[in-house]
């Protein structure tokens, strides 16, 4: 259903206001089960109830609250779409910020605050869109399940994963999902504006390395030193140059970059193409290979005592289809004297960049930006789509934003002075509205 000019302005203004209001509710997730999404969940429920959308607040632990609501489509025989966002944010130290991280202030054409890009901007777009639907009496083409998840910034234990495990009936009849970290613009060499739609995600293996040795006095010669063993293993892993690997998604992206820039595409070496990506290389540079970064070390209790044991933690990330290669390489680099223990594991995802849903995304972008070029990309992190995958739901990242060419967008995720451009947010809700009108 097409909106009038006045209704589009109303949609844009409400998105801005909702984003500000949600930033002012500090739904901080401190990890290790410590978080509080209750107030923001209640805010969302109130905004849904105001326009006649019934919802359920699901508390999975003390103050860990999720919101779900079902909106009936015009064709209830089709499989539905899960439209989801997370409502928790990472902590922010006010001393590090130039403004109040929970002020939701408008400054220099941006909304500032923790969650502005991750992901209360998308939450606001979703809320504004469905509230407009009810005001104009519109039904989407298919059933929509709204899900505002808790705990995404830790593990999803009290959010998407809990609901998938304990309330799978909520998702019955839904086949596809759309959420965060996709549909935003990146300007590459030649001024070409790509819109990166997330169609794949790396998987996770957090691995603990442990070594045992002979304890003794720090002044003695000791060739069986546990600290040395772990340090050597960490050095080998941290300095290892991982081979480049092509996935279906990254192949499509880098071929398009080569085509647009006139550069050469070589599936075994796409590093030369990274120069065209500007600041986006922060994330995309990590998606051409598996990676493994040492992040933690633990050993000893006194300066003059050689400890009997030492350990380290490696943050391993693997491309779709290459989990075994990651683990076996780390095992080989660690060596025979190091014991490996997987602390955390999560799957990699990859879906086809084809079909009616993808076509609707691309069309919606081009309605608002005729020069925009929608392309798939592989994300170095993960989203709640991984939990939904366990139910056979195919997920994409599509939270559209048109960004200034000089904005280092990736640095804003979990960063100081997180902010979202107002014009980009207005663009985003127009694109989202059009997309959902054609699903």
Establish if 18 belongs to a structural domain. Answer: yes
Q: How confident is the model at residue 282 (pLDDT cuts 50, 70, 90)?
A: confident
Same domain flag for 142 and 227: no
Last residue of a domain, one of 346, 372, 399: 346
Which CATH number belongs to the domain containing residue 411 in this structure? 3.40.630.10
Last residue of a domain, one of 293, 317, 346: 346
- Continuous segment of H or E residues that includes residue 249: helix 248-261
Looking at residue 3, its pLDDT comes to 96
Same domain flag for 172 and 267: no
Give backbone dihedrals phi and psi of 139, rounded to 5 degrees, phi first.
-115, 130
In terms of C-beta density within 10 A (0-12 exposed, 13-18 middle, 19 or more buried), how is residue 361 classed?
buried
Establish if 369 belongs to a structural domain. Answer: no
Same domain flag for 294 and 177: no
How does pLDDT run across 151-162, given as a tens digit for each residue? 999 989 999 999
Looking at residue 98, its pLDDT comes to 97
Distance CA 140, CA 363 (A): 17
Looking at residue 1, its pLDDT comes to 81
Tell me the mean pLDDT in the region 388-415: 96
Tell me the mean pLDDT in the region 356-371: 98
Same domain flag for 67 and 116: yes
How does pLDDT run across 32-75, given as a tens digit for each residue? 999 999 999 999 999 999 999 999 999 999 999 999 999 999 99
Q: Which domain holds residue 15?
A: 5-181+383-436
B/e letters for 302-335, b = 16+ CB within 10 Å, e = fewer, are eeeebbebbbbbbbbbbbbebbeebbebbeebbe
Same domain flag for 141 and 273: no
Same domain flag for 214 and 321: yes
Same domain flag for 207 and 262: yes
Which CATH number belongs to the domain containing residue 250 in this structure? 3.30.70.360
Last residue of a domain, one of 346, 369, 404: 346
pTM: 0.95
**70 three-class SS:** strand
Establish if 16 belongs to a structural domain. Answer: yes
Same domain flag for 86 and 154: yes
Tell me the mean pLDDT in the region 369-373: 98
In terms of C-beta density within 10 A (0-12 exposed, 13-18 middle, 19 or more buried), how is residue 265 classed?
middle
Same domain flag for 282 and 391: no
Structurally, how many domains does the chain consist of?
2
Establish if 70 belongs to a structural domain. Answer: yes
How does pLDDT run across 6-32, given as a tens digit for each residue? 999 999 999 999 999 999 999 999 999
Establish if 54 belongs to a structural domain. Answer: yes
Same domain flag for 175 and 220: no
What rounded mean pLDDT belongs to the chain?
Answer: 97
Looking at residue 155, its pLDDT comes to 87
| CA end-to-end distance (rounded Å), the chain | 12
How does pLDDT run across 296-321, given as a tens digit for each residue? 999 999 999 999 999 999 999 999 99
């Amino acid at each position: 259903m097409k909106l009038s000019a006045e209704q589009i302005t109303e949609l844009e203004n409400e998105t801005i206001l909702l984003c500000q209001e949600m930033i002012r509710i500090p739904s901080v997730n401190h990890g290790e089960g410590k978080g509080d999404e209750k107030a923001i969940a209640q805010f969302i429920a109130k905004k849904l109830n105001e326009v006649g959308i019934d919802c359920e607040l699901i508390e999975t632990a003390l103050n860990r609250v999720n919101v779900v609501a079902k909106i009936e489509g015009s064709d209830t025989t089709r499989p539905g779409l899960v439209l989801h966002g997370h409502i928790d944010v990472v902590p922010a130290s006010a001393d590090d910020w130039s403004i109040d991280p929970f002020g939701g202030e408008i400054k220099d054409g941006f909304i500032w605050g923790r969650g502005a890009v991750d992901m209360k901007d998308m939450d606001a777009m979703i809320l504004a869109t469905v509230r407009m639907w009810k005001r104009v009496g519109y039904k989407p083409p298919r059933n929509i399940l709204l899900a505002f998840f808790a705990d995404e910034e830790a593990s999803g234990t009290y959010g998407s994963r809990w609901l998938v495990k304990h309330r799978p009936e909520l998702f019955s009849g839904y086949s596809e999902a759309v959420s965060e970290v996709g549909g935003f613009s990146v300007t590459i060499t030649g001024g070409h504006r790509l819109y990166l739609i997330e169609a794949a995600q790396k998987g996770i293996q957090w691995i603990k390395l442990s070594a045992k040795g002979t304890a003794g006095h720090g002044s003695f010669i000791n060739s069986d030193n546990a600290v040395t063993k772990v340090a050597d293993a960490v050095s080998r892993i941290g300095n290892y140059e991982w081979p480049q690997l092509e996935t279906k998604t990254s192949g499509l992206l880098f071929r398009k970059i080569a085509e647009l820039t006139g550069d050469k595409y070589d599936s075994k070496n796409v590093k030369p193409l990274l120069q065209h990506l500007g600041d986006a290389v922060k994330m995309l540079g990590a998606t051409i290979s598996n990676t493994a970064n040492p992040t933690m070390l633990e050993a000893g209790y006194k300066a003059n005592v050689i400890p009997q044991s030492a350990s380290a933690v490696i943050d391993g990330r693997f491309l779709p289809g290459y989990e075994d290669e990651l683990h076996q390489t780390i095992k080989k680099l660690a060596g025979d004297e190091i014991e490996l223990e997987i602390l955390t594991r999560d799957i990699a995802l990859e879906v086809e960049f084809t079909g009616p849903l993808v076509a609707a995304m691309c069309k919606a972008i081009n309605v608002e930006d005729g020069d925009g070029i929608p392309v798939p990309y592989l994300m170095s992190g993960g989203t709640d789509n991984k939990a939904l995958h366990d139910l056979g739901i195919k997920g994409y990242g599509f939270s559209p934003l048109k960004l200034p060419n000089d904005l280092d967008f990736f640095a804003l995720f979990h960063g100081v002075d997180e902010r979202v451009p107002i014009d980009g947010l207005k663009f985003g809700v127009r694109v989202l509205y059009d997309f959902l009108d054609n699903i």
